[in-house]
Amino acid sequence: MGRWIDTDAAYAVLTDYYHHSTDTQHAALREALGRVESVDAVPVVRCKDCIRFRPDDDVWGWCAVSGKMRCKGYCSYGVRKDGEQNDTV
């Protein structure tokens, strides 16, 4: 399975790394990154990282939002315990 990237962030990193490149080379890089296939993704939080997940033991637990046992392992309603950015699926 491939890794999905933020093409704007990739462009910023590459242009910073290759700061001696010409405007034409930067335009070519921007065009090439624009051709990368996009994905329809939504932010999610893994159950184990959610403030609403209530562990019963080391393996099982339940979701305070849905009232269900952990099923998929993530959802779009979750809020991370550590306040970091959500994962994308």
Beta strands in the chain (DSSP E): 43-46, 53-55, 61-63, 74-75, 87-88
- Which residue in this structure is represented by tokens 């209530």? 54
Pairing of strands 87-88, 43-46: antiparallel
- Which residue in this structure is represented by tokens 């994308």? 88
Residue 7 has pLDDT above 60, yes or no: yes
The count of C-alpha atoms lying within 13 angstroms of the C-alpha of 29, restricted to the half-sphere facing its C-beta, is: 19
When pLDDT is cut at 50, 70 and 90, the band that residue 67 belongs to is: confident
CATH architecture of 43-88: Single Sheet (2.20)
Domain locations in the chain as residue ranges: 1-39, 43-88
Average pLDDT of span 66-81: 74
- What pTM does this model have? 0.44
When pLDDT is cut at 50, 70 and 90, the band that residue 1 belongs to is: very low
**50: closest CA among 36, 70, 35, 34?**
70
